[in-house]
Chain A
């Protein structure tokens, strides 16, 4: 199973690298790259880090940090008048 997941991750990475060079994808480049990164992130966390099968407590503890990044981003960018 792990080899198949690695192959999948390799293919997604190849697509990621190709996206900036395909002019036709320019209008959707940013959201597409973000979605591809989320897919890779989620695949590694779920299967290689076994969070999909492990205790719910571990998932909660980790998600607390991942979701916590969102207000952190907003606060930092607002504080520095990025918007």
Chain B
């Protein structure tokens, strides 16, 4: 027989605590990206006679930004479907979000390759180092987000997504939207304000 104390513990809903922990994590991530954006601003003119912001392809990066922005829409639609216990809708929108995230990453790899061909590498200048560190770490966050989305999709295939364990769609959604808002800042500060 289970004691009342144990029963209380077993039925305690820890979801709000996990959600609060996610918000604390996202708040700390603001500091993380904030410090790298500050570093970029500090070194944005230090190109050491190498390429600078003039090599940015604004139309291409704008298209990538739009793709990531729209992935926030598909993510919130996945969460909405999840809340309504619509397994099929959840799967479709999770997969759509992962595909949009992958498209963004492919665009970033293409962009980095182009920049390297134009002479901007991680060691070319302080501008190059701070640019690749900032956008590269953001890309790593997107890649982790895509892996989490695919894990959610896999769990949804045999109905395990509704089991209350570990991550859930809402927490992954918060992380994904955060990745989007960080890019909103990077797109403005690193790209649009430098051309």
Q: Chain A interface (Cβ within 8 Å of chain B)?
A: 2-3, 5-6, 9-10, 13, 16-17, 19-20, 30, 33-34, 36-37, 40-41, 44-45, 47-49, 55, 57-58, 61-66, 68-69, 72-73, 76-77, 80, 82
Q: Is the CB of A82 within 8 A of B42?
A: yes
Q: A58-B19, A65-B27, A72-B35 are in contact. List 10 more A-B contacts (CB 8 A).
A: A2-B80, A16-B188, A19-B192, A33-B188, A34-B188, A45-B177, A45-B181, A55-B16, A62-B26, A66-B27
User: Within 8 Å of chain A (Cβ to Cβ): is B31?
Assistant: yes
Query: Once A and B bind, how many residue pairs between them come within 8 Å at the CB atom?
Result: 113
Please give, as numbers and ranges, the residues of chain B lying within 8 Å of A13 by CB-CB distance.
Answer: 62, 65-66, 69
Q: Chain B interface (Cβ within 8 Å of chain A)?
A: 16, 19-20, 23-24, 26-31, 34-35, 37-39, 41-42, 58-59, 62, 65-66, 69-70, 72-73, 75-77, 80, 173-174, 177-178, 180-181, 184-185, 187-189, 192-193, 195
Query: What's the nearest-Cβ distance from chain A to residue B48, in Å?
Result: 17
B interface SS class: helix
A20, closest chain B residue (CB)? B195
Please give, as numbers and ranges, the residues of chain B lying within 8 Å of A45 by CB-CB distance.
Answer: 177, 181
Query: What's the nearest-Cβ distance from chain A to residue B147, in Å?
Result: 20
User: Known: A36-B188, A49-B177, A55-B16. Contact between A17 and B27, CB under 8 A?
Assistant: no
Query: What's the nearest-Cβ distance from chain A to residue B110, in Å?
Result: 19
Q: Is the CB of B66 within 8 A of A37?
A: no
Q: Identify which of B16, B73, B174 contacts A2 (C-beta below 8 A).
A: B73
Q: Identify which of B38, B59, B76 contacts A73 (C-beta below 8 A).
A: B38
